[in-house]
Amino acid sequence: MTGPKSATVGHASEPDAHGTLPVRVLIVRHGETQWNADGRIQGQTDVHLSDRGEMQARALVPRLADELIAAVYASDLQRAWRTADLAVEGRLVPVTRDPAWRELAFGEWEGLVYAEAAARDPEVASRRLRHPARTAPPGGEQLGDLLDRVRPALQAIQSRHAGETVLIATHGGVVRALGCFFLGLNLDAAWRLTAGNAGLSIVSWWPDGPILESWNDTSHLRGADLEAVPDTGLVRPA
């Protein structure tokens, strides 16, 4: 493996010793919904952005202004693709909607607050907090299922966009799973990674490994009373 590399914001990285270039991956969690504010588990229920969530998404415009974004991918759930649309407003870059980037399916828990889900299925809820990679809510997915679904779409981005910057607008569970993937962590560590609404994480993905440049940056929301509801990763996984 070659030594550490650096990337300059807004510009293509220098090639490594083999002449290869990284993909600069900008990962954004969708803006806030009313269900987020209420603490309800969304999963794959197609909940729209609240007015506050739309403002959070628009706050990404100046944050991303220096990024030369070549392609935009988003979950086909409206809270994600709408976030992408607003974040790149004014750019001539289409948003590609792809169901691979959907949130983890929470099955029978969708629409419940976490306390209701835990009271309904206490053993599953307890086990899932410890082992989300291999524990699914009733009728839902394990986190390992989500990563299996996302990985081909992610690898396609790597093969198509060497030397380019790509924006992915997706969901909290996906963001955490990607964090584990890029850092080489077991998926059971996923809920230890925070993922706030409209939070931005940046990865330079080289052929010989990724470099995490930033995680869950929400600085663009400060000063405008737009900071997201607290996100522990344990009780607000959607």
The half-sphere exposure of 156 on its side-chain side, counting CA atoms within 13 A, is 11
Q: Are strands 200-206 and 23-29 parallel, antiparallel or unpaired?
A: antiparallel
Report the chain's terminal Cα–Cα distance, integer Å. 36
Per the structure block, which two tokens stand in for 39? 């603490």
Whether residue 30 lies in the annotated active site:
yes
pLDDT at 19: 52
Options 30, 161, 171, 220, the catalytic residue: 30
pTM: 0.89
103 is annotated as an active-site residue: yes
- pLDDT grade, residue 226 (50/70/90)? confident
Whole-number average pLDDT of the chain: 89
Q: Across-strand partners of 24?
A: 165, 204
Look at residue 9 in the predicted model and tell me its pLDDT: 37
Mean pLDDT of 159-178: 97
Domains annotated for the chain, with CATH where assigned, are: 23-221 (3.40.50.1240)
Q: Find the catalytic residue in 67, 103, 110, 141.
A: 103
Q: Residue 229: which pLDDT band, with cuts at 50, 70 and 90?
A: low
Query: For residue 7, what are its two tokens?
Result: 């990337």
Pick the range with the lowest mean pLDDT from 35-39, 54-58, 102-106, 230-234: 230-234
- Residue 35 CA to residue 39 CA, distance in Å, equals 6
10 in Cβ contact with 151 (< 8 Å): no
Phi, psi (degrees; rounded to nearest 5) at 204: -95, 110
- For 94-130, how does the pLDDT look when each residue is reduced to its tens digit (9 = 90+)? 999 999 999 999 999 999 999 999 999 999 999 998 9
Contacts for 218 with CB less than 8 Å, ≥ 6 apart: 196, 198, 199, 200, 227, 228
Which of 27, 77, 89 minimizes the C-alpha distance to 49? 77
Q: Can you tell me the mean pLDDT for 179-192?
A: 95
